[in-house]
Amino acid sequence: MALPLWAKELPKATLFKARIEAVDSTLAFRDAFTSGRCLIPADGYLEWTTSLVDGKKEPLALGKWISALCGFRCWVAAWRRS
């Protein structure tokens, strides 16, 4: 099992989205924010929406109208084996 360098045990929630107001001070993202930046090229992405008809989640493909590549800003962090 792998753990983030800052963690003593596996986090209870997934660490997927960071709030820009706290990304430089939250333990989960601080080191990656200062030294682990990267850019992921893409020509679209999926956004999950809730159907108005039956309330189920369904994917909405965004980007098929974009004629050029776009990029996602990401932060990469090192993990250690426990």
| Total-model pTM | 0.51
At residue 50, the pLDDT reads 92
**Residue, of 82 and 52, whose pLDDT is higher:** 52
Banded pLDDT at 36 (limits 50, 70, 90): confident
Query: CA Rg, the chain, in Å?
Result: 17
**pLDDT over 70 at 46, yes or no:** yes
Q: Do 3 and 79 meet the contact criterion of CB atoms below 8 Å apart?
A: yes
**Residue, of 72 and 11, whose pLDDT is higher:** 72
CA angle 61, 65, 66 (to 5 degrees): 105
What are the Cα distances from residue 76, in Å, to 6, 12, 58?
14, 20, 29
Domain ranges of the chain: 2-81
Query: Checking DSSP bridges between strand 79-81 and strand 70-75, what pairing results, if any?
Result: unpaired
